[in-house]
Structure 1
Amino acid sequence: MPTPSPAAPPQARRMLTVALLVPFVVALALWAFAWPAARNAPRDLPLGVAGPAHATAPLQKQLQQREGAFEIHRYADEAAARAAVEDRTVYGAVVATGQGPKLLTASAASPVVAQLLQQAVTAGAPDGARVTTVDVVPAPAADPRGAALGSSVLPLAIAGVAAGSLVTLRGLRGLRAAGTLVLAAALVGLVAAALAHSWLGILTGKWWAEAGVLGLSALAVAAAVAGLAALLGPAGIGVGALLMVLLGNPFSGVTSAPQLLPEPAGLIGQLLPPGAGGSLLRSTAFFDGAAATGPAVTLAAWAVIGLGAVLVGARRGRSAPPATASPRVREPAPVG
């Protein structure tokens, strides 16, 4: 009588695991990408108000009626408000003038926010008043809606995940792995800057600074993936890919703004390399490095911690005791 195969239960468990894992990943992807898009609205969006107090009071009151939408910053005059927009302290500013409200925007910071502010200020203006809009820091002519810049986040994340995965799967460890990650990220930065700045014209800052930002963004992702793999094994690659692609990309806010995403998606996105890289790239390409410190520190921390994990994982592998080989049994020599 044939005995049942002992491999049947494990095979059944594998089939069930795959059948349940696929819809879970699909649900996670839909939640991560669709939820922020469906709940897109201003939340404490930094906005300036400039001019004499008696003239700006009605404007400020009108804006504050949308509770929680705007974080109002007061400025004495238009020059101070314009400087705040250029320093990325606020996304825009409303200046009270004798001819009516004047709106200062920065479409380079976010075309979506610039349009939103124009609609909000126009709706809140007195009847018959004409709102004059001045784009203080305009988006580049090659990418007026910021679509191309927003599309650059996912390829950089994928490049970083690919670099970290290849280093792990090719068996590179320790300093060799770290050196390969740094070299690959540097080349990614050069290629990306050549495409985005020199060819497409969607970046208008200093070429080498942009290449450095793009390379650092790729390194932060690659080092994180390789570091997780060094500590957790091959499963770390999957964890890193889910973290950087399924969460980092939709939570980055590059296509709109972090303050337009539902909480805490905007905050989480800025703590992950895709979001921090997108913010740093905007500051470098369009604002001469204004407000670059925070995202630069975030990317550097991911890169340093990830590379450190790669080195620690290699050291742990060397210090592990070798597996003891089973004693070899000699067969007795044949007699005669």
Structure 2
Amino acid sequence: MSSPATSPIPSRDTEHAAWLALVVTGLIIGIAFIAVYVGLQRDPKPRHLPIAVVGAQLSTALRTGLGESVEITQVADASAGVEATRAGDAIGVLDATSPAAVRFQYAGAAGFSESGAARALVAGAAAHAGLTVQESDIVPLARYDSRGLSAIYVVFGVTLSSFVLAQGLTGAAAKVRLRHRLYAMGGFAVAIGFGAAIVAGPIYGSLAAPFPLLALSLTLLSAASAFATKALGAWLGPAGIGLAVLLLTTVGNATSGATIGYDLLPGWAQAVSAILPPGAAVRAVNEYGYFDGSHAVSSLVVLAAWFVLGLGLVLLKQYRTDRPATAAPAIAEPQLTAQGA
């Protein structure tokens, strides 16, 4: 009578390594989340805020008084400055209406932090020169997005749900075929992209981007997030999932430019924001919603690149995994035949 097979008992070191890795990963993610979000909120300072200014004298005075806080573009007249503001090339346009007054026409849709910083800088410079300031918001936020935060909430929701799906499918790799996992992530990207666009657009009226372009941006965001998470998990295991949390839901959303304007972020955060999916998605949604999509294509390219790269890495990993398995029968078959003979 044969004895029943018994499963090997894991050593105490193996058990300790398993839970210690989870604890350390959780601590790293939690501390990084707090450090990045709270750190960026501490003392944001404007860096090269783009402002259009009419006239050489006013341009020189503003550039001298504000230094690197602003990036002055001299324009021929107020109309040219308004056009630049509506295209998203400037936060506002400043021109003199009389010897004792200036007018600042700004884009509130650039975000409370950026437009607020620009208004404060202009007001300070005008007060120093003894001038009064007349303000007007020529690109206001959508009626149902009074704080300008809808974009970050929608982007965060799409990113998080796509990450959770990819994480779950990575854990179920032994039970679900690769092509079905890929179909699930692709189908989910379309569903969440259109679903989020319907809720935030036509239903709530919180995002002003045209529906097809809003849905496209959010679909690409979901695909970028899910396939990037899947690729990191496939190549790096649990560490890859932790890295996806740090890149997408922590650093990516904190530096997206929605809560702290892009031009108020430190240099490292600006560099990161430009290449991570959440930042690209926030810019695409706002560009299409308020600035005629003048710079949105580059953001869509970033999202598409993350999706394509993630898909490519997943397929490459599967190819490398399957290659030895397909080669093994060709070697083993002659041995079996010989034994049978």
TM-score by length of 1: 0.86
Task: Call closer, same or farther: CA 1:192–1:78 in 2, change over 3 Å.
Answer: same
1:254-280: per-residue Cα shift (whole Å, max 9, x none)? 123111112201220221000111011
1:109-136: per-residue Cα shift (whole Å, max 9, x none)? 2122112221211121156532111212
Say whether 1:29 aligns with 2:33: yes
Once residues 223 and 77 of structure 1 are traced to their aligned partners in structure 2, the CA distance between those partners, rounded to angstroms, is 48
Q: Which runs of 5+ in 2 are unaligned?
A: 1-8, 336-341
**1:302 positional shift:** 0.4
1:266-305: per-residue Cα shift (whole Å, max 9, x none)? 2202210001110111011222211112211111110111
Amino acid at match of 1:202: S
Say whether 1:192 aligns with 2:192: no
Of residues 277, 283, 307, the one that matches 1:279 is 283
Pairs within 5 Å for 1:67-216: 68-98=68-98, 100-126=101-127, 129-171=131-173, 172-216=176-220
Q: Which residue of structure 2 aligns with residue 268 of structure 1?
A: 272
Of residues 225, 233, 240, the one that matches 1:236 is 240
1:176-231: per-residue Cα shift (whole Å, max 9, x none)? 43332221101111110111012221112311111111111111111101122233
Task: Call closer, same or farther: CA 1:173–1:261 in 2, change over 3 Å.
Answer: farther
Which stretches of structure 1, 4 residues or longer, exceed 6 Å deviation after superposition?
A: 322-325
Amino acid at match of 2:165: A
Does the 8 A contact of 1:269 with 1:275 survive in 2?
Answer: yes
**Percent pairwise identity:** 29
Once residues 262 and 111 of structure 1 are traced to their aligned partners in structure 2, the CA distance between those partners, rounded to angstroms, is 17
Q: Which residue of structure 2 aligns with residue 313 of structure 1?
A: 317
Task: Call closer, same or farther: CA 1:77–1:40 in 2, change over 3 Å.
Answer: same
Give the match's secondary structure for 2:230.
Answer: helix
Does the 8 A contact of 1:156 with 1:217 survive in 2?
Answer: yes
Does the 8 A contact of 1:39 with 1:262 survive in 2?
Answer: no
Task: Call closer, same or farther: CA 1:168–1:200 in 2, change over 3 Å.
Answer: same
Once residues 283 and 156 of structure 1 are traced to their aligned partners in structure 2, the CA distance between those partners, rounded to angstroms, is 18
Once residues 10 and 260 of structure 2 are traced to their aligned partners in structure 1, the CA distance between those partners, rounded to angstroms, is 55
* RMSD over aligned Cα atoms: 2.5
Q: Give the paired residue count.
A: 319
Once residues 259 and 223 of structure 2 are traced to their aligned partners in structure 1, the CA distance between those partners, rounded to angstroms, is 22
Once residues 279 and 36 of structure 1 are traced to their aligned partners in structure 2, the CA distance between those partners, rounded to angstroms, is 18
Structure with more helix by fraction: 2
Task: Call closer, same or farther: CA 1:319–1:62 in 2, change over 3 Å.
Answer: same
Q: Which residue of structure 2 aligns with residue 252 of structure 1?
A: 256
Does the 8 A contact of 1:143 with 1:202 survive in 2?
Answer: yes
Once residues 23 and 159 of structure 2 are traced to their aligned partners in structure 1, the CA distance between those partners, rounded to angstroms, is 27
**1:6 positional shift:** 8.3
TM-score by length of 2: 0.85
Once residues 227 and 18 of structure 1 are traced to their aligned partners in structure 2, the CA distance between those partners, rounded to angstroms, is 20
Task: Call closer, same or farther: CA 1:130–1:318 in 2, change over 3 Å.
Answer: same
Q: Which is worse superposed, 239-248 or 19-28?
A: 19-28
Once residues 213 and 25 of structure 2 are traced to their aligned partners in structure 1, the CA distance between those partners, rounded to angstroms, is 42
Task: Call closer, same or farther: CA 1:160–1:22 in 2, change over 3 Å.
Answer: closer
Q: Which is worse superposed, 98-107 or 122-131?
A: 122-131
1:91-112: per-residue Cα shift (whole Å, max 9, x none)? 2221222262111211112122
Of residues 224, 227, 235, the one that matches 1:223 is 227
Once residues 231 and 20 of structure 2 are traced to their aligned partners in structure 1, the CA distance between those partners, rounded to angstroms, is 30
